[in-house]
Structures are given as C-alpha cells and as structure tokens.
Amino acid sequence: MSCKPLRVVSCLRLVGAVALAAVILTPAAVRADVTLAGGGLVLAEQGGTFAAGNVAGASFGAIPFTSSDLGPELSIGFHIAANLNDEIYGNSNSWIGGNTNPFAPSIFGGVALDSDFTLQSIAFGRDNLGTFGDRNLGLYTLQYTTVAGVSNATPDGDWTTIGTFDYASAGTGNFSNPALRHRYNFDPVAGATGVRLLVPGGTAIDEIELYETAGTIVIPPPPPPPFLITPALGHDITWDGNDGDHFDPAAPPAGAQVPNNLALASNGAIAISSSDLGPELGVLFHVKGNLNDGIYGNSNSWIGGVLPAGVAAPFAGVALDGLFFVDQIAFSRDNGNGAFDDSAAGTDACGGQCDDRWQGVYTLQYTQVAGADGSTPDTGDPTTGWANVGMVDYAASVDIQPGDGFTGYLRHAFDVSADGSPLVASGIRLLVPATGLGGGTAIDEIEVYGSPVPEPSTFVMAMLALGGMAVIRRRRR
C-alpha cells in the first residue's frame, strides 16, 4: 500500500532480519535482556499507553504496510497490516507476517506518514494487554526513509537504519516483560516520511507508535528481593551471603559431599519428616534418610508425600544427638552431582542441575525436647515442643551461577540466634512450602552447625556467659 499521492510522505518501518542500508552504528548499550545498538537508542518506558502526538496512528493519517500478513492465510480478520496502527492494543489487534512472503528473507511492518516529520521516539510491543508473552524475542532493526510515496515496495536502498534492538530474554526493571509495549528514544531524524521494523520470523506486533518528542525516561522501582526474612519475636535470622558453597558437579562418592556438621547421620542425628514421596512412587530416594546422608543432589534428596491426617504442615528436619548451641543452619534443593549449567549430567535424574521445587515460604523451627520426632508438638515454646526461629520466603533467583547472586535451588546458610545468643536445640526442622508429586518441595540436605551444650554442672555458667555477651552486644548498639 502506498502513501497518498502528490505529497511528501514520511515513513518508518521496523526491520528484523537484515539491516538493508549502510549506517554507522554507535557502541551497543548492552544488558543481559535487551541490547540496543546505534542511533542513540535508549529504553525509556515499559508498558504505558499512547501519548499525544502519535504520528503513526491511523487517526493521524498514517498508512500501514507489511511484507505479508498471516491473517488472510488463516482466514481470520486480524494479524493484518491495519492492526499496526489501529490504536488498539492486544493480540486480536496485532500483526504477524505471513508464511508466503514476496520480500523474504526480510520480514517487516511499518507506517507511511501523512507528512514529513522529525522523529526521536518509537514505541512497539507484542501485546500491551499482557495476555500473550510469545512471538517477541530476536533482532529488530529500525529504519526510516525520506522518499515520497512510501510502501512495502520502497526499495531497500531508500531506507536508512537508525539502530537495532536485540530482545534476548526477560530481565528486570523496564524490560521485565519483553512482550509489553516499550518506548525508545533515539537521536532525531529529520524529514522522515516512513518508518519500518525488520522483525524476527513469527513476530507479533500490536502497535507501532512514533513521536516527534522524546519519551520521559521512567525509572522503574527496584526489583523485589529474591528472598525475604521475617524473624520470630526475640530471634534473628541472617543470610551469611554464601550461594552454593560446597557445590560440586562430580558424582558421589567422590563428589557432592556435604561438610561435617551436627545434622549428619554419621554424627548420630536422626532425620524426621511429615511423610516421604519415595515409597509412594516406588523409588528408593525422596525419603527422609536423604536429609542427612551427607550427599548433595536430586538422587539424594527428600520430597514429602501425602500429608498424614492430623499433620498441619509438611516438614523436614533432624533430631540431633544431644543438646547443642546452634548458630547456623543450611539447606538446599540441589547443590551438586551435575553441573549448574547442565553441561555435565552427573548421575542425577535431572541431567545436571535440578532447578525446580524450591520457591515459597520456609519456617525454621527448633526444639529442646529430647528425642524430638514427627510427633513432637508445635507449641511455640522450645522447652515443650517446636518453636519458630522465623520465616524465609524464597521468591526468585538472581542467576544460576554458584557464588554470585542468590540462586534459590542452591545451598544457603543462615546464622540464627535467640536473644542475641545461639539457639539451644536438640532438633531443627523446616516447615516447607509444599508436599507431594505435583510440585512438592525438595531438599537434598539439612545442615546444622554449632557446639555441644556442656554437662549440667557447667551448663548454667555457660548460659550466664552467653547472656552476658548478649548484654554487652546490646550495650554496644
């Protein structure tokens, strides 16, 4: 479709396969999620809506054009060129290129403008209503022309590249959802009669917007923390900063070994759980014995089974071999026996890293009851039953690299205390987010660190010493 005759027309189009005109690109603005290159491109906003002065809109006299349309091939009334500037967001008002494309390998959609304009901002998206999240990743090339009578037949040599957008993956901030509308600013281009986008194969675009003024750069709120700690009254929980400490991709018995700690079965601790999934599935793992067997990895992990009647919440824990001062607890979903990037499978079922079954709220509990087990009540008082140290809400992973940002399924250690001193505990357990085959929480090891409580003759003196240290700490604050 051509622009109106006998008028100077400006057009912009987005081209995603190949940049078809010579251009000098400025250094790329690189992110993990989207890479912008050329033309001073800057990401200004995610989401949002039409602003005043959208010269690409049909109501402004602009005329859309494409390399081809999928709608007629499917005998449906949308996924056509007219959807590019009908000023309506959403999949049912979007364009997708057709399978039969006379301009292959280029795939493009664009608008011929009703006059010539100086442009410095574009907005486009896959589905700004947020319903569809597919058909958006890949390389887009933004081009403009100053010739009259712009259409899909305008020669490639008449188009000048402004820059490129390489959509790699969802990120954070203003690129947390690649399918939404994103507005970009670029160095002003004068006399534009049309714009086009060269797009990746199968791409959907619900709207192209063009502006003569730069968009306001919206500073997004900081991302939520990957986890949230809520200590119980009088207690404290602190992540010590480690992420996947002791991770070992090698298979046991040589690899994936857990450090010596109070919770190990070899140190006399006894694993406890609300139930085990393994027997329900007829497999030898996903049983409580894996909670303290000293081996990391999915094949040495526990998952809870059907919750027995009368048990309020799924749990996993260890009854220690005596009474101990406990100052650190660690646990993980899968901390070894397979590479974190799946480049080495180890001997685990996941073919590398198992990265599921870890999100949700964990409640850390302790007790001083001798011989604590699954029947020990949740009284809120450690001298008579289980009491809360606090809750840790695992929400998101920052990356997959051990030792870098927080990775939810790797091992994490938390320093714990009561009234400023180590917990006095004979047992430690975790109330876990879920149980059962359909998404039940997995834990490959629970670790407990501390020292034995002295014999009764010296215990009182030890407690007084700890209390004095707590007083000193409070005075120093």
- Assess contact for 269 and 318: CB atoms under 8 A: yes
Question: In the chain, where does the domain assigned CATH 2.60.120.260 lie?
Answer: 11-211, 227-476
Ranges 18-32, 40-54, 437-451: which has the least confidence: 18-32
From the CB of residue 468, how many other CB atoms can be counted at a distance below 10 Å? Answer: 11
Could you tell me the pLDDT band of residue 49, with boundaries at 50, 70 and 90? very high
> Over 60: is that where the pLDDT of 292 sits?
yes
Region 461-469: mean pLDDT is 50
DSSP classification of residue 457 = H
Per-residue pLDDT tens digits for 377-419: 999 999 999 999 999 999 999 888 899 889 999 999 999 999 9
pLDDT on residue 457: 54
The closest of 256, 242, 254, 274 to 374, measured between CA atoms, is 274
pLDDT in tens, 223-255: 778 999 999 999 999 999 999 999 999 999 999
CATH architecture classification, 11-211: Sandwich (2.60)
- Alpha helix segments (H runs only) across 193-345: 278-281
Confidence check: pLDDT of 29 > 60: no
Architecture of domain 227-476: Sandwich (2.60)
pLDDT, average across residues 136-162: 97
pLDDT band at 267 (very low <50, low <70, confident <90, very high): very high
Residue 413: predicted pLDDT: 97
pLDDT of residue 15: 44
pLDDT of the residue at 220: 87
Residues 94-143 have pLDDT tens digits of: 999 999 999 999 999 999 999 999 999 999 999 999 999 999 999 999 99
Q: pTM for the full model?
A: 0.60
Would you say residue 471 has pLDDT above 50? no
Gap between the Cα atoms of 142 and 279, Å rounded: 58
Banded pLDDT at 10 (limits 50, 70, 90): very low
- Report the distance separating Cα 6 and Cα 13, nearest Å: 21
Q: Is the pLDDT of residue 18 over 80?
A: no
Distance CA 174, CA 243 (A): 27
Please answer whether residues 299 and 409 qualify as being in contact, where contact means their C-beta atoms are separated by less than 8 angstroms: no
* Joined tokens for residue 387: 């009491």
Q: Within its chain, how far is the Cα of 359 from the centroid?
A: 11
Band (pLDDT 50/70/90 cuts) for residue 475 is: very low
Q: Whole-angstrom Cα distance, residue 411 to residue 399?
A: 14
Torsion sign across C-alpha atoms 259, 262, 266, 272:
negative
pLDDT on residue 351 = 80
What pLDDT sits at residue 389? 98
Contact indicator for 81, 64 with CB cutoff of 8 Å: yes
pLDDT at 58 over 70: yes
Question: What is the reported pLDDT for 349?
Answer: 77
How far apart are alpha carbons 170 and 178 in whole angstroms?
6
Look up residue 424 and give its amino acid.
V
Q: Which residues fall within 8 angstroms of residue 476, CB to CB, at 6 or more apart?
A: none
- Average pLDDT for the chain: 89
CA 219 to chain centroid = 20
Q: Quick one: pLDDT at residue 43?
A: 97
**pLDDT given at position 30:** 42
Q: CA-CA distance, 443 to 354, in Å (whole number)? A: 11
Angle (CA) 225-226-229 rounded to 5° is: 75
The identity of residue 143, as a single letter, is: Q
Q: Is 144 left (phi over 0), alpha (psi -120 to 50) or beta?
A: beta
- Secondary element (H or E) of residue 74: helix 71-74
> Which H or E run includes 335?
none
DSSP 8-class letter at 317:
E
| pLDDT, tens only, 329-384 | 999 999 999 999 899 999 987 888 999 999 999 999 999 999 999 899 999 999 99
DSSP 8-state symbol, 248? B
Residue 467 has pLDDT above 70, yes or no: no
Question: What are the beta bridge partners of residue 366?
Answer: 387, 428
Residues with Cβ within 8 Å of residue 40, at least 6 apart in sequence: 26, 163, 185, 186, 187
Across the chain, which distance is largest between two alpha carbons, in Å?
Answer: 104
- The DSSP bridge partners found for residue 166 are 35, 139
State in Å, rounded, how far the first CA of the chain is from the last one.
74
Structure tokens at 77: 């009334």
Residues β-bridged to residue 394: 227, 360
∠ CA 74-78-80, nearest 5°, is 90
pLDDT at 470 over 70: no
Q: Is 466 helix (H, G, I), strand (E, B) or coil?
A: helix
pLDDT per position as a tens digit, 199-226: 999 999 999 999 999 999 999 887 778 9
C-alpha distances in Å from residue 424, one per residue of 251, 327, 449, 464: 35, 9, 12, 13
Report residue 173's pLDDT band, with 50, 70 and 90 as the boundaries. Answer: confident
The partner residues of 249 in beta bridges, in order of sequence, read none
Which amino acid is present at 100? T
* Ranges 23-32, 127-136, 188-197, 257-266: which has the least confidence: 23-32
CA angle centred on 432, ends 296 and 279, rounded to 5°:
65
> In this structure, what token pair is assigned to residue 49?
């809506």
pLDDT value at position 25? 31
